[in-house]
Amino acid sequence: MLLTPDQDQIRDAVRDFAQQELWPNAPQWDQDHSFPREAHRGLAALGAYGIFVPEEYDGAGLGYMELALVLEEIAAGDGGTSTAISVTNCPYNAILLRYGNAEQKKKWLAPAARGEILGAFCLTEPHVGSDASALRTTAVRDGGDYVLNGSKQFITSGQNGHAAIVIAVTDKDAGKGGMSAFVVPTHNLGNAGWQVARLEDKLGQHSTDTAQISFVDCRVPAENRIGEEGEGYRIALSGLEGGRIGIAAQSVGMARSALDVAIAYAKERQAFGSAIFEHQAVSFRLADCATRLEAARQLIWHAASLKDAGRPCLKEAAMAKLFASETAEAVCTAAIQTLGGYGYVSDFPVARIYRDVRVCQIYEGTSDIQKLIITRSL
């Protein structure tokens, strides 16, 4: 699949920024577990917070193809940063764009697209992730408000974010049809009912926070309900379809950087009288990695082009995420192997990238769940 000149230009602009501002700083952010606010501001200025949001709502007015290009480049610079931006675009923006009313779009979507607020998505709970039909967080109507109580687990940007799409139970006897979606300001916008119960100590992606959120009598005006009561489950799943295209692109971006490091190293490192790249066991391994990454990219672009054409792409997005995330882990393992002992220590970035990329097989639906989705279409 060929990119248009505009798409080439967008990719190059984000690549330049990511290589100058993210890549050199990523090891420090990893070590300090620090959130790179300045870099986020720069990415927001490039339009990365609102890629497919129409210009009417202050977005870049592009599509999922550009989302994939941009997220690959950001992830090639720093995995954690790509996750925070991925979640803001999709599911946060995607849900508001599709299901929000005009007021909600003006109040909650446009500021995100402008890069003024970081979005989050609260579906997973401590007792349940893959089976999202078994949520327990409740939203009870009280006059002009809903009152939320319960706990959400593994929430990207739960600490640093400003607003979240929250899925909660409004009718506990109605199963999947008893859930509703809300846009909820976080503690950063003064909501005392949004409490960060704990920050997770993760294997990787230290430049983005992952938090457990407690809703304690968290009051949300009824005007913050997205769609009708009972539509929450459908709304949540719709947001994940495009999100998977983004995660797949992140996987390729991270793995591409690990592969680039491995290729450069292999051309320098001498063993048995030549660069190790001259040993075919090494160069063939790298050739396999490059081929598999390109195949993953083509699956992603195919799913993105279907999405942009308004065609169904549930299966294709699942295939892209499954293949790209599994391939990315394999590529990072191969990169570590290529560097030998140096692959296992922090002198080179491949060990960090391996830690960062591993979660792509887990969040927004594990590899098993992607296989379930694909199986249903067979």
Residues of the shown chain interacting with ligand FAD in the complex, contacts defined by CB under 6 A: 87, 120-124, 128-130, 154-156, 202, 205, 210, 359, 362-366, 368-369, 372
Q: Which of 73, 229, 316, 364 is the catalytic position? A: 364
Min separation Cβ 165 and ligand FAD, Å: 9
Helix%, strand%, coil% for the chain, nearest 5: 55, 15, 25
Q: Which residue is nearest to ligand FAD (CB)?
A: 129
| Amino acid, single-letter form, for residue 152 | K
Min separation Cβ 365 and ligand FAD, Å: 6
Q: What distance in Å separates the CA atoms of residue 75 and residue 79, rounded to the nearest whole number?
A: 4
By CB atoms closer than 10 A (0-12, 13-18, 19+), residue 258 is: buried
Considering the complex, state which of residue 128 and residue 374 has its C-beta at the smaller distance from ligand FAD. Answer: 128
Min separation Cβ 15 and ligand FAD, Å: 25
Min separation Cβ 339 and ligand FAD, Å: 25
Q: How far apart are the first and last CA of the chain?
A: 25
Token representation of residue 282: 């090494």
> What is the b/e burial string over 220-248, where b = at least 16 CB atoms within 10 angstroms of the residue's CB?
beeebbbbebebbbebbbbbbbbbbbbbb
Within 10 angstroms of residue 8's Cβ, the number of other Cβ atoms is 12
Token representation of residue 24: 């050199």
Considering the complex, state which of residue 151 and residue 338 has its C-beta at the smaller distance from ligand FAD. Answer: 151
**Eight-state DSSP code of residue 54:** -
Residue written as token pair 């992607």? 370
Considering the complex, state which of residue 124 and residue 224 has its C-beta at the smaller distance from ligand FAD. Answer: 124
Instruction: Based on the residue annotation, tell me whether 231 is a catalytic residue of this protein.
Output: no
Considering the complex, state which of residue 160 and residue 338 has its C-beta at the smaller distance from ligand FAD. Answer: 160
Token representation of residue 360: 């792509």
Token representation of residue 188: 């950063």
Considering the complex, state which of residue 56 and residue 200 has its C-beta at the smaller distance from ligand FAD. Answer: 200
Q: What distance in Å separates the CA atoms of residue 216 and residue 147, rounded to the nearest whole number?
A: 9
Min separation Cβ 52 and ligand FAD, Å: 19
Considering the complex, state which of residue 87 and residue 220 has its C-beta at the smaller distance from ligand FAD. Answer: 87
Q: Are 236 and 65 in contact (CB under 8 A)?
A: no
Phi-psi region of 162 (alpha: psi -120 to 50; beta: other; left: phi over 0): alpha
Min separation Cβ 128 and ligand FAD, Å: 6
Q: What distance in Å separates the CA atoms of residue 293 and residue 297, rounded to the nearest whole number?
A: 6
Considering the complex, state which of residue 120 and residue 306 has its C-beta at the smaller distance from ligand FAD. Answer: 120
**Helix ranges, the chain (H):** 5-17, 26-32, 37-45, 64-77, 79-87, 94-99, 102-104, 110-113, 232-268, 280-308, 314-338, 350-357, 367-376
Show which residues are catalytic. Answer: 364
